[in-house]
Structure 1
Amino acid sequence: MTRPTPAQLEAARDRLVPDVVADGLSVLFCGINPGLTTAVTGHHFARPGNRFWPVLHRSGFTPRLLAPAEQAELLTYRLGITNVVARPTARADELTAEEYREGGRLLERKVARLRPRWLAVVGVTAYRAAFADRGARIGPQERTIGSARVWVLPNPSGLNAHWTAEMMAEEYARLREAAGSSEVAGTA
């Protein structure tokens, strides 16, 4: 993929990025909000340097490294992607507290409708803001949304440098094991 120009990035601020979802997923991954590169391409976690796709593969969720443009293939593994907030921004700190809270309310409705087994929020700060849970830590949460269990994962952004790709893959693998590895990997 060629890097988007500054003009393309700016023009993408009003674009919505469609979710990659289906009913009854094993894990619905939930990003904070689309970055501008994601909004330009229409593919989740598309910014170069974002470690979501490599970590997803290293943790055993996918049998090979998928490119962002192959995001629809996630559905064959009973995985999906959505976001807490739909509005694309250059940085997550451009979002308001109200956007997080409203995003949390909308996410609860979406999860109740889609009924994934697990909701995996990638970013503890986003989870805390969206669900008013200041004490949340990385890992499984006590909270459920509908019948879905909730797991908070480290944010795969390259800006989250204190989490190496290896450390993230270990945490993502913990979720994969909890969700049932054969089911999630599509071998059930």
Structure 2
Amino acid sequence: MPDVIAPGLRVLFCGINPSLYSVVVGHHFARPGNRFWPTLHAAGFTPRRLKPAEQIELLGLGYGITNVVDRATATAAELSAEELVRGGRQLVAKVRRYRPHVIAVLGVSAYRAAFGRPQAALGLQPEPLGEARLWVLPNPSGLNAHYRLEDLARLFSELRQVAATG
């Protein structure tokens, strides 16, 4: 799954890994029921609700998408701890190369495993990733029943407000 990425983005959103469906259709967060696109709009990142096929429009708004792990799976639970750690190292290299202002990892459990931070909580992290401020948000997958769209929108909006101020 190719990244939607460019140098100097305001926010680089980082999913855990692509779904099998997303890989088939060629767009990030494309699986029906995934709340990424509605959440971005509800949180004020996009002027309208984008479709996954319109993902390239994020670049013009200063945002991009990547993943911790490139391998597609039916669920993130299929990823091994080793894959997450290796993906974390690759993400650090990507952040150093593209230099986003903020990296937003979408999945606290994946972040904890990939970066050896078992106590990490949602929100701004005390340590940066490369030179980027690091923010952890809930996974917007429809499989993550812990958060309603309203909850996701509120948490993503907190990131947007911080990212807008520099």
Aligned to 1:28: 12
Instruction: Specify the alignment match of 2:159 in structure 1.
Output: 175
1:95-121 C-alpha deviation (Å, 9 max, x unpaired): 111000000000000001100000000
Whichever of the two has the greater Rg, that structure is: 1
Partner of 1:5: none
Matched residues in 2 for 1:162 and 1:127: separation?
A: 17
Does residue 135 of the first structure (1) align with residue 98 of the second (2)? no
Among residues 50, 71, 90, which one is paired with 1:87 in the alignment? 71
Q: 1:47 corresponds to which letter in structure 2?
A: R
TM-score, with structure 1 as normaliser: 0.87
Structure 2: gaps spanning 5 or more residues: none
**Residue of structure 1 aligned with 2:44, choices 37, 60, 70:** 60
Residue of structure 2 in register with 1:124 after alignment = 108
The equivalent position to 1:74 in structure 2, one of 58, 73, 76, is 58
Deviation at 1:156, TM superposition (A): 0.4
Q: Which residue of 2 aligns with 1:166?
A: 150
- The root-mean-square deviation of aligned C-alpha atoms, in Å, is 0.9
Q: CA deviation at 1:159?
A: 1.4
Report the Cα distance in structure 2 between the residues aligned to 1:127 and 1:146, rounded to whole angstroms.
15
Aligned length: 166
TM-score scaled by length of structure 2? 0.98
Does 1:151 pair with 2:138?
Answer: no
One-letter code aligned to 1:105: R
- Map 1:31-50; keep pairs closer than 5 Å: 31-50=15-34
Identity level (%): 61
Runs of 4+ in structure 1 deviating by more than 6 angstroms, as ranges, are: none
